[in-house]
Amino acid sequence: MDLHGILKEAFTSLSVNTIKTGLIWLLRVAWIAGTLPILIASLPFPILNSFRALLLSFAKRGKIMPSSSHRFTVPHSFFLHFYLLAVVWTTSLLTCTWYFAYKVAPLGTESLSYPFAASHLTGGSHVFSIHKSRFTSAKDRFNVWKSVFLLLLMEAHVLRRLYETFNVFNYSSSARMHIFGYLTGIYFYTAAPLSLCTFCVLEAFNFAADQVAEFKVEGQELVSITGFDLWGYVKPITRLGWCQWAGAAIFAWGWFHQYCCHAILGSLRERGDRTADYVIPHGDWFEIVSSPHYLAEMIIYAGLLVASGGTDFTIWLLLGFVVANLSFAAAETHQWYLRKFEDYPHNREQENMGIFYRGMEGELSCCCSCEEAAKTHRYTDILVL
């Protein structure tokens, strides 16, 4: 590599590292800023009542928002925007990161992809060497593939949520949410996938941009030697550690039960039924907690944390925000049930981890039986994050 190439590599590495550090701290500050007000509002001090009421006014949506409170609100059906954004953004991150991992960060004894090795050996481009030099250790390459794995899990989550928005949920036309909650959701589904791949996301996007630029120059020559190696993309994922697969199992547990609970809620309203009647939902984890879909969401993100290895403080803060936000909303939902229904089951908790100790006693039932049990209880609104 000539002097120009060395200087370019050094400058690029310095710039990327500086931007990456800034991005990581920006995400961490944002998660802390979102979590602290909720924790403060949860403290049992009378002096905080006004602040707690203000925060609740921002958090209310669906059935717990008064029908007269339409100022600074948007339709609850705008949740669709969250999942459209999440799918497009997560897919983009996953595509760039997975391609980058395959080309630049081989695991174990796997060889570099032929086109880039050939280009490097013949002096065709500095792109490969610039990016490869930043991930020389086995640990760094493992972390790149771990980011791919976390994004794959997130992709499975947001794709299911988008599917449910079209095929499971049937929002009441009168259901609203505060504009602040709407903007928070937009931020969340932008920052959450990004928080899972901060280790290599900038390098991945830079690499993709370099590849596009190189393709424009070399064009047909590059296409002629490029093939799609499916096993090469999948094999490194199968070689990840037990921690990643344990996290995936926890993720799948929460993922499955959240779908069951959403199916219960969705099955209790006929398509086109826009009334605002409410009854007590039953089935699956609804027999244990008031907002089991919230609890399942916490488990999903706990699974992501375990799959990450628990070494990334940004992901810890992401989980902290999810738990604080959903616990706050679940507590208000629980109080709403108690106020509205005199016969509300008192054995249900607001939102705690009791399900881990009681939920395995029979593992309740699968989605099909859940829906059958639910059909005898009419419920006509959906509360989800």
DSSP calls for 307-369:
HTTS--HHHHHHHHHHHHHHHHHHHHHHHHHHHH-TT--TTSBSS-TTHHHHTTSS----HHH
Q: Containing domain of residue 7, as a range?
A: 1-59
- Average pLDDT of the residues in 85-112: 86
**34 band by pLDDT with thresholds 50, 70 and 90:** very high
Asked if the model's pLDDT at residue 42 lies above 50, the reply is yes
Q: Is residue 384 part of a domain?
A: no
Q: Is residue 41 part of a domain?
A: yes
Q: Is residue 113 part of a domain?
A: no
Is there a single domain that holds both residue 258 and residue 334? yes
Q: Is residue 114 part of a domain?
A: no
Is there a single domain that holds both residue 166 and residue 83? yes
What is each CA distance from 184 to 187, 194, 261, 284, 316, in whole angstroms?
5, 15, 24, 29, 19
Q: Is residue 82 part of a domain?
A: yes
Is there a single domain that holds both residue 317 and residue 343? yes
Domain boundary among 209, 239, 269: 239
- Please state the domain count of the chain: 3
Asked if the model's pLDDT at residue 379 lies above 50, the reply is no
Identify the burial level of 45 via C-beta atoms within 10 angstroms of its C-beta, where 0-12 means exposed, 13-18 middle and 19 or more buried.
Answer: exposed
User: Residue 178 pairs with which residues in a beta bridge?
Assistant: 73
CA 56 – CA 18 distance, rounded (Å) = 38
For residue 326, which of 247, 382, 383 has the smallest C-alpha distance? 383
Q: What percent of the chain has pLDDT over 70?
A: 70
Q: Is residue 67 part of a domain?
A: no
Q: Which residue has the higher pLDDT, 278 or 116?
A: 278
Q: Is residue 316 part of a domain?
A: yes
Asked if the model's pLDDT at residue 100 lies above 90, the reply is yes
Q: Which residue has the higher pLDDT, 23 or 381?
A: 23
Contact of 123 with 2, CB cutoff 8 Å: no
Asked if the model's pLDDT at residue 333 lies above 70, the reply is yes
- pTM for the whole thing? 0.81
Mean pLDDT of all residues belonging to the chain: 78
Q: Is residue 260 part of a domain?
A: yes
CA 250 – CA 299 distance, rounded (Å) = 7
Per mean pLDDT, which of 23-37, 95-109, 347-361 is the most reliable?
23-37
| Tokens 């009378």 sit on residue | 46
- Average pLDDT of the residues in 151-171: 93
Is there a single domain that holds both residue 153 and residue 257? no
**Max Cα separation, the chain?**
79
